[in-house]
Amino acid sequence: MTLEAIKYKSGQLQILDQLLLPTESKYIPVAGVKDGWSAIHKMQVRGAPAIAIVGCLSLVVEIYDKQYETKAALATEIGEHLQYLVTSRPTAVNLKLAADDVKGQVESLLANETVAVDGMKQEVIKAIEYMLEKDISDNRAIGDNGANVLVKGVDRPLKLLTHCNTGSLATAGYGTALGVIRSVNQRNLLGLYIEITRNKHSICNPHILTIPEHVYCTETRPYNQGARLTAYELVHDKLPATLVTDSMVAALLSSRKIDAIIVGADRVAANGDTANKIGTYQMAVVAKHHGVPFYVAAPFTSIDVAIED
């Protein structure tokens, strides 16, 4: 069972405070838009997909129990809240795109004379709540598609490297790049993480003993998302993993048979250029030097077609 970083039900929102991980697992309430903005800005929630979902869900919490006299009043409040939320993390295109989608829906509902104010509010809430469900579905599709590429023609355990955090803590669930790794693991191509009971004379189940060095994650300075969050997720899911310092990547690729590097993306330009956490570029350069395939796993919501390159 993967981690649940976002808990939402019927206008109630809680998030796992990622600034406290891995030493403390604490869920904090998000009581409205101001809390949502603060959580995103302080990086209590991070990861482009998760930022968009938490931001929009904080809007749902804000308007959930309020009554509005007119559709125009509701539309104005929603627009102001969305404009404010986008300023919490300007580099995260997912939040801006999600906000634009909500604004577009609001404008359409505002123009539809057959929709009353309460119906308009419920339609907006329903659409935002669906974002949570859809993100998990999209992530599983990314995981399956990525795994299909990585395991094609392979009948042995893979050694994979990832950077930053792109798992359940960065999304609504499952993850993007880390979701690919999870999907590979489900096909038994990462090896098994098994607790072996030892005694003086034997090892239980020796035929399934495996070396747990198949996933490598970088610490990802200066915020240490890899050391604090990705390693936390890998241990939680009992995936065979080793944490390495950022400066060890070149040595790792030269001394170990790394089959592929998979990273996420903060933003992807129209031509495929990718912006991601610091350290990603040097990993790509070193990967090319050593002939290691380098993949970016991201949803369509991370693509900004307005930016050419």
Residues annotated as catalytic are 266
Secondary structure (3-state) at 260: strand
d(CA 170, CA 130): 18
d(CA 168, CA 132): 12
- Six-digit token string for 98: 């999600």
Nearest 10 degrees: Cα torsion 225, 34, 36, 121: -170
H or E element that contains 285: helix 280-290
| Inter-residue long-range contacts of 71-79, CB under 8 Å, 24+ positions, other chains counted | 71/109, 71/110, 71/115, 71/116, 71/117, 71/120, 72/110, 74/106, 74/117, 74/120, 74/121, 75/106, 75/107, 75/109, 75/110, 75/120, 78/102, 78/103, 78/106, 78/124, 79/103, 79/106
